């Protein structure tokens, strides 16, 4: 449950950063303090949020390939943040299984947006994951 909470907090911090309501560090500090999450799970939260923000340009470039006729500006801020977090995990966290990464993203989408949104995100993330796995096999 704590890793799920860590993902949720990382998502919330990215969401706040995206909307310009808070810088990432103040958002993370506040969210971690309010949740009581500490130790390895707090480290995991920071790793996810900071990693996604550090690689934001590459993540957005990857996602743009799968958002055919649908720019980032048209995405709901929730969807944008969920996609960025999930893409970071898919690209940079080899120790987390693909199915877990996608499932956790869909759960966040359902919790903070809608089932319809989750279906859309599932299509995007599934295509991205398949292409990533195909690229690994060719290497």
The 10s digit of each residue's pLDDT in 18-30 is 998 779 999 999 9
Number of domains present in the structure of the chain: 1
Find the domain containing 37 and state its range: 1-138
Q: Give Cα 37 distance to the centre of its chain.
A: 19
Closest CA to 124 of 73, 94, 90, 95: 90
Its pTM stands at 0.92
Residue 68's CB is within 10 A of a number of other CB atoms, namely 8
**Where residue 20 sits, what CATH number does that domain have?**
1.10.940.10
Report residues of the chain scoring pLDDT below 70. 1, 135-139
């Amino acid at each position: 449950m704590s890793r799920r909470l860590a993902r949720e907090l990382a998502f919330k911090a990215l969401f706040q950063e995206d909307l310009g309501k808070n810088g990432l560090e103040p958002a993370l500090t506040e969210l971690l303090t309010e949740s009581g999450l500490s130790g390895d799970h707090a480290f995991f939260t920071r790793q996810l949020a900071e990693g996604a923000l550090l690689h934001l340009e590459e993540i957005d470039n990857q996602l743009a390939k799968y958002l055919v006729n649908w720019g980032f500006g048209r995405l709901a801020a929730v969807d944008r943040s969920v996609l960025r977090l999930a893409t970071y995990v898919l690209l940079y966290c080899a120790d987390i299984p693909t199915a877990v990464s996608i499932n956790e993203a869909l759960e966040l989408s359902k919790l903070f947006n809608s089932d319809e949104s989750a279906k859309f995100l599932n299509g995007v993330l599934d295509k991205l994951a398949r292409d990533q796995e195909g690229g690994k096999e060719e290497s």
